[in-house]
């Protein structure tokens, strides 16, 4: 069976090398006589897996020693509640709304305190990043929240907002490990792994130690959402998503082998340029995002004709290009070209798009 080019926004493409390694170890992980799926999370073998994964992630991102790394369950969406529960000591936070996930996080935060909309790009269907140089941030805010890369709408912050000294919290789910990042600029940086790092079911939270409260800011915060409980237990308060963490660890090692995040950024820029350059000169397909805010990871585009969009998606699928249909809230098409998407996949997609355009003028 041949592999398709999988442009899914998540769960998404994983490095073939990692999948092959996992397949080889499925029945017997390094002489243990069992699969990681069967292994106790208290065993020496798994303890080494999770410790190695954390160290490799710290190496890749240059995570300072005063930040805790937590491998948790529930995906990024569960952190929409955990963040205000842990951080809203003064009961107020600012949110920049640049897409569906930031909006959902904002709506969730309103259940636990005063969530203030600082800026929004909803007026143009989230097709740009608003000016964040002088936001109405006040000193009584506990944090400012962003979704750094917007999977659905294909925008990304090229520069972080001016938070005027207030802690920055960022959901980086769809740009996780796609390029170097200065972790020290964030109070909390977190992401679900199923877009660019591993299989669904794991969320990685990287939080500065002084922001992890002795007791959560919100009374009656569930134990599982209490960051201190999780941090003190080194992500092993209960059974973690063991197999997902194991795969993430393999992806971290693959990224190191590929040359680290500087090398990935260069490759991702090259891949994105191939697709964006074609979209910019095409007479049929059009990108939907303002050029200055284009994501390297998620590329939405349209023909302007819903029937023609549907035809393209169907013919692309038949040709081995999977999951190109756009999100249900925006329609059109979307190609997610995460780290593990080979450059050959993007080149093949553009050739197919050229052929489709020639046949459908």
The listed CATH number (1.10.8.60, 3.40.50.1820, 3.40.50.300, 3.40.640.10) that belongs to domain 17-257 = 3.40.640.10
Helix (H) or strand (E) holding 144: strand 143-147
Kindly report, as residue ranges, where domains of CATH 3.90.1150.10 are found in the chain: 259-359
Q: State pLDDT tens for residues 257-311.
A: 999 999 999 999 999 999 999 999 999 999 999 999 999 999 999 999 999 999 9
C-alpha 110: how far from its chain's center? 23
Identify which of 289, 304, 234 has the alpha carbon closest to the alpha carbon of residue 99. Answer: 289
Give how far Cα 205 sits from Cα of 9, 57, 80, 88, 114, Å: 20, 12, 12, 17, 23
**pLDDT of 43 strictly over 80:** yes
Helices (H), the chain: 16-24, 44-61, 75-87, 100-109, 227-232, 242-257, 260-281, 306-318, 343-359
pTM of the model: 0.96
The answer to whether residues 129 and 121 touch, using CB atoms and an 8 Å cutoff, is yes
Query: What mean pLDDT do residues 311-330 have?
Result: 94
Distance CA 232, CA 207 (A): 13
Side-chain-side CA neighbours of residue 91 (13 Å): 2
Q: What six digits make up the tokens of 127? A: 């097709």
C-alpha 115: how far from its chain's center? 23
For residue 325, the 8-state DSSP code is B
Distance CA 325, CA 355 (A): 18
Query: What mean pLDDT do residues 72-80 have?
Result: 96
Distance CA 76, CA 97 (A): 16
Give how far Cα 274 sits from Cα of 41, 211, 269, Å: 43, 41, 9
How many C-beta atoms surround the C-beta of residue 319 within 10 A? Answer: 15
How much is the pLDDT for 329? 78
3-state per-residue secondary structure call for 103-135: HHHHHHHCCCCEEEEEEECHHHCCCCCCCCCCC
Pairing of strands 155-156, 114-120: unpaired
Q: State pLDDT tens for residues 214-256.
A: 999 999 999 999 999 999 999 999 999 999 999 999 999 999 9
How much is the pLDDT for 361? 81
How many C-beta atoms surround the C-beta of residue 334 within 10 A? Answer: 24
Q: What angle do CA 263, 267, 269 make, to 5 degrees?
A: 115
Q: State pLDDT tens for residues 169-185.
A: 999 999 999 999 999 99
Q: How confident is the model at residue 8 (pLDDT cuts 50, 70, 90)?
A: very high
CATH topology of domain 259-359: 3.90.1150
Distance CA 148, CA 186 (A): 12
How much is the pLDDT for 255? 98
Write out the catalytic residue numbers. Answer: 101, 171, 195
Distance CA 333, CA 198 (A): 23
**pLDDT of 1 strictly over 70:** no
Kindly report, as residue ranges, where domains of CATH 3.40.640.10 are found in the chain: 17-257
**pLDDT of 339 strictly over 80:** yes
Distance CA 320, CA 228 (A): 46
Distance CA 272, CA 337 (A): 8
Distance CA 185, CA 180 (A): 12
């Amino acid at each position: 069976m041949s592999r398709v080019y999988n442009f899914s926004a998540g769960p998404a493409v994983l490095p073939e090398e990692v999948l092959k390694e996992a397949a080889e170890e499925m029945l017997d992980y390094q002489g243990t006589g069992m699969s990681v799926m069967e292994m106790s999370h208290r065993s020496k073998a798994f303890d080494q897996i999770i410790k190695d994964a954390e160290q490799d992630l710290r190496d890749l991102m240059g995570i300072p020693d005063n930040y805790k790394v937590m491998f948790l369950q529930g995906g990024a969406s569960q952190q929409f509640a955990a963040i205000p529960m842990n951080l809203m000591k003064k009961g107020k936070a600012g949110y920049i709304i640049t897409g569906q996930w930031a909006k959902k996080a904002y709506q969730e935060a309103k259940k636990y305190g005063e969530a203030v909309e600082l800026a929004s790009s909803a007026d143009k269907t989230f097709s740009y990043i608003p000016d964040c140089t002088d936001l109405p941030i006040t000193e009584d805010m506990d944090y400012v929240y962003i979704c750094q890369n917007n999977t659905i709408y294909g925008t990304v912050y090229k520069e972080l907002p001016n938070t005027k000294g207030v802690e920055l919290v960022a959901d980086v789910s769809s740009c996780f490990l796609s390029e170097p990042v200065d972790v020290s600029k964030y109070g909390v940086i977190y992401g679900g792994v199923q877009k660019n790092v591993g299989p669904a079911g794991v969320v990685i939270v990287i939080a500065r130690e002084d922001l992890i409260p002795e007791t959560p800011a919100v009374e009656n915060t569930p134990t599982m959402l209490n960051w201190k409980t999780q941090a003190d237990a080194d992500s092993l308060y209960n059974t973690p998503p063991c197999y997902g963490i194991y795969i993430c660890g393999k992806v971290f090692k693959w990224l190191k082998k590929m040359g680290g995040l500087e090398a990935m950024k260069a490759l991702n820029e090259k891949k994105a340029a191939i697709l964006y350059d074609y979209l910019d000169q095409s007479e049929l397909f059009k990108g939907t995002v303002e050029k200055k805010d284009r994501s390297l990871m998620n590329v939405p585009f349209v023909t302007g004709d819903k029937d023609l969009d549907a035809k393209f998606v169907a013919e692309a699928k038949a040709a081995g290009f999977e999951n190109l249909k756009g999100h249900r809230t925006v329609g059109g098409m979307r190609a997610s070209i995460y780290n593990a998407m080979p450059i050959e996949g993007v080149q093949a997609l553009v050739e197919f798009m050229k052929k489709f355009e020639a046949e459908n003028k």
